């Protein structure tokens, strides 16, 4: 600072001014078996100022495969893209790797160390690596285990390390890139799950997304498998190591720029393509999981990588923050079931056991389908019967008394003609009392109604399928997307701020519960209709 006027110094990093060079990169060829590498289909057309382009434009170029046909371009681009990842202040780099590798392996560089415990049961794909590359991959993973002792389970790490090694000038550069992805601290944009708890929460999140975005495929899997979550728990392995190298590296191009959300997109696109390929008849074999794995390995017979990415980015997925909220809610449900951060493998079967299930309304198979429709974090728990007309009579007041204090609930109705329908209800029926004598509405956008017989079908909130409809509401009628200031305990929703466009905040005893991405406060909706999903009075109930 000179005098009273501050002097602003702008520092331009080397990465921001770097020009691409697509000539050969001999340092990056030492780990690759070139006989296995796919041939480029066309010469690379890469702008020389590519890294100075805005992030949105860079993402578009990655999605379109701008540098897909040039090994040298990837080799020069990948380290610089990874350097842009926001990560913890103290993150092991190439120099640290050389010190640790020297200590662990000595001057010979030969590793006799076993792979880290967090890779137990995880496949370690080698793709197009030669023997020297495979040895380097194992050394890198051993050093990761030494320098990141908090990692207890991470099935993505081996594939990520193997792919990066194809385009690294040495082991140290590959390690540094991998290290930055592990240590990423970008909000709502993680790269690598590092515990079984986090991995299982992402599997449940994928199940929720598949339930919303791939209803036909989800119905097919629910009908063919006794454990839907078990099928979805393999979603990450569909991509790595399931996809062929040419597909996997295209996914990596975009993953380095956009994070884990890209992996959800690609897996959903694969699931949609699988449903198109098998048709309504379903999988040929009894094992739908094995059928899916075989389908992914032979994906080139069904769709090109360009078309797969196009379909993946055509899916109208929710924001990173909203997906993160859902993942945190799933994580919380797993903790309630006893899963811990330090646990490396599951100690119990996560699926609900329907073997002893009995009901006068639905069969066990029908209940399994219904259970597959509800959000994953709730389907972890076995159903508890609260009310039945055969045992509790047909009093509506008795229905309310039995169900109050529980959420969510599933309502099953069987008609005298044998038809079965029902609803998933996200909120406690006791909330109806907040409106006094009037019939008030409550609930969230996770509510849905369904039929089981004569045909099984689920009917969701229209904004789930068409979120753009929310944007059509005039601004003057839209509420603020932020929740209202918290009301004092015991105050009614019509109290403070009842004349504003804010929704009431849940009562203090429920404050700890995370709102999933379908909660109404994450949509710009008119306040008068934002919570109209459930209603109950002395005369009847309304759902929808």
* pLDDT range class, residue 43, cuts 50, 70, 90: low
How do the domains of the chain map onto residue ranges?
Answer: 9-337, 384-465+529-543
Sheet with 448-453, strands from edge to edge, namely 409-414, 420-425, 448-453, 457-459
CA distance 177 to 172: 9
For the ranges 53-67, 168-182, 281-295, the one whose mean pLDDT is highest = 168-182
Q: Is the pLDDT of residue 511 over 70?
A: no
The model's pLDDT over 414-424, given as tens digits with 9 standing for 90+, comes to 999 999 999 99
pLDDT of 128-160, one tens digit each? Answer: 999 999 999 999 999 999 999 989 999 999 999
What pLDDT does 313 receive?
Answer: 94
The answer to whether 484 and 497 have CB atoms below 8 angstroms apart is yes
- pTM, whole model, 2 decimals? 0.75
pLDDT tens for each residue of 435-445: 665 667 888 87
For 261-320, what is each residue's pLDDT tens digit? 999 999 999 999 999 988 766 676 678 889 999 999 999 999 999 999 999 999 988 788
- The whole-angstrom separation of Cα 287 and Cα 268 is 20
Here the tokens at position 165 are 């090694």
- Of the two residues 223 and 280, the one the predictor is more confident about is 223
Cα distance between residue 263 and residue 312, in whole Å: 9
CA distances from 92 to 87, 135, 183, 294 (A): 11, 21, 9, 38
Pick the CATH number of 9-337 from 3.40.50.1970, 2.40.40.20, 3.40.250.10, 1.10.472.80: 1.10.472.80
Per-residue pLDDT at 45: 65
Whole-number pLDDT of residue 175: 96
Q: What percent of the chain has pLDDT over 90?
A: 35
Average pLDDT, the chain: 79
């Amino acid at each position: 600072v000179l005098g009273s006027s501050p002097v602003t110094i702008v520092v331009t990093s080397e990465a921001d001014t770097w020009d691409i060079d697509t000539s050969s990169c001999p340092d990056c060829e030492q780990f690759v078996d070139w006989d296995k590498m796919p041939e480029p289909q066309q010469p690379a057309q890469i702008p020389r100022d590519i890294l100075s382009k805005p992030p949105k434009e860079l993402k578009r170029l990655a999605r379109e495969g701008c540098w897909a046909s040039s090994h040298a371009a990837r080799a020069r681009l990948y380290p610089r893209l990874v350097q842009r990842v926001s990560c913890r202040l103290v993150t092991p780099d190439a120099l640290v790797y050389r010190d640790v590798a020297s200590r662990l392996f000595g001057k010979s560089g030969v590793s006799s160390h076993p792979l880290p415990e967090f890779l137990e049961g995880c496949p370690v794909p080698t793709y197009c690596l030669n023997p020297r590359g495979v040895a380097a991959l194992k050394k890198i993973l051993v050093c990761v285990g030494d320098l990141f002792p908090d990692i207890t389970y991470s099935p993505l790490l081996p594939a990520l390390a193997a792919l990066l090694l194809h385009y690294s000038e040495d082991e140290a550069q590959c390690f540094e890139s991998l290290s930055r992805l592990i240590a990423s601290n970008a909000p709502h944009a993680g790269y690598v799950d590092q515990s079984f708890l986090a991995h299982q929460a992402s599997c449940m999140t994928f199940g929720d997304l598949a339930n919303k975005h791939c209803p036909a495929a989800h119905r097919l899997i629910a009908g063919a498998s006794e454990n839907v979550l078990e099928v979805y728990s393999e979603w990450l392995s569909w991509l790595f190591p399931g996809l062929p190298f040419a597909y996997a590296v295209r996914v990596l191009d975009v993953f380095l720029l956009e994070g884990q959300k890209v992996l959800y997109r690609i897996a959903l696109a694969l699931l949609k393509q699988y449903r198109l390929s098998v048709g309504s008849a379903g999988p040929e074999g009894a094992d739908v999981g094995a059928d899916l794995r075989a389908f992914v390995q032979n994906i080139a017979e069904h769709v090109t990588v360009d078309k797969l990415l196009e379909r993946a980015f055509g899916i109208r997925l929710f924001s990173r923050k909203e997906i993160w909220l859902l993942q945190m809610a799933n994580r919380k449900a797993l903790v309630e079931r006893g899963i811990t951060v330090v646990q490396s493998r599951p100690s119990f079967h996560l699926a609900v056991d329907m073997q002893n299930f009995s009901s006068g309304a639905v069969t066990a198979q029908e209940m399994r389908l219904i259970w597959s429709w509800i959000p994953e974090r709730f389907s972890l728990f076995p159903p508890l019967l609260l009310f039945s007309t055969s045992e509790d009579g047909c009093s509506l007041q008795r229905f309310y008394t039995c169900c109050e204090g529980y959420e969510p609930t599933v309502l099953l109705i069987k008609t005298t003609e044998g038809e079965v329908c029902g609803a998933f209800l996200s909120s406690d029926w006791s909330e109806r009392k907040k409106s006094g004598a009037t019939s008030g509405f409550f609930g969230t956008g996770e509510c849905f109604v369904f039929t089981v017989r004569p045909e099984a079908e689920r009917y969701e909130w229209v904004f789930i399928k068409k979120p753009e409809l929310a944007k059509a509401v005039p601004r003057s009628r839209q509420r603020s997307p932020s929740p209202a200031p918290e009301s004092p305990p015991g105050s009614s929703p019509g109290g403070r701020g009842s004349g504003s466009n804010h929704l009431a905040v849940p009562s203090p005893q429920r404050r700890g519960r995370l709102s999933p991405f379908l909660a109404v406060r994450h949509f710009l909706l008119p306040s008068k209709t934002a919570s109209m999903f459930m209603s109950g009075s002395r005369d009847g109930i309304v759902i929808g």
